[in-house]
Amino acid sequence: MSTLRIVESNNDQIDYDISKEKGLRDLLYNLVQQEPRVVILEIPNVGIFTLGVGEPYGFVQFSKTGEPPYLVASVNRSTEGTNLDDEIEFDANGTPTPIPKRLCMPYDWVVDIIIHFFINREPPQFVTWEEI
């Protein structure tokens, strides 16, 4: 069993005891029931994730220690009809925080990335990781 910590954008911290993939998946989908925002997810022995939680898009940033290097997930997708310079805003403690659209992905993919980390304890290879 792992104790995961969620830090909301208003600095509320909640610890969750999660032992199975389904529990984590349920938790991640419950987070998306509110306005798009930034949350911090700490998974012991894996790392610290900064997540954009929203519908239909989210984002994933990862660091093993909370210190650089920071890696952000990006996906290869068709750019036809999409301006990847556009941004999507997520609330970070009351501050609208723009994230480039090229770093955003469907929220289902965000969940899949976190589940992969939880199970395998390493970054998934089905996304590209950029150091920022």
Cα–Cα distance measured from residue 117 to residue 12, given in angstroms and rounded to the nearest whole number: 24
User: For residue 84, what pLDDT is reported?
Assistant: 62
pLDDT of residue 45: 87
- Each residue's pLDDT, cut to its tens digit, for the chain (132 residues) gives 678 888 887 678 888 988 899 999 999 999 998 889 999 999 988 999 999 999 999 999 999 988 899 999 987 655 445 666 689 999 998 999 999 988 999 999 999 999 999 999 999 999 999 998
Sketch the domain layout of the chain as residue ranges: 2-131
Amino acid 66: pLDDT: 85
CA distance 120 to 122: 5
Q: Specify whether the CB–CB gap between 98 and 87 falls below 8 A.
A: yes
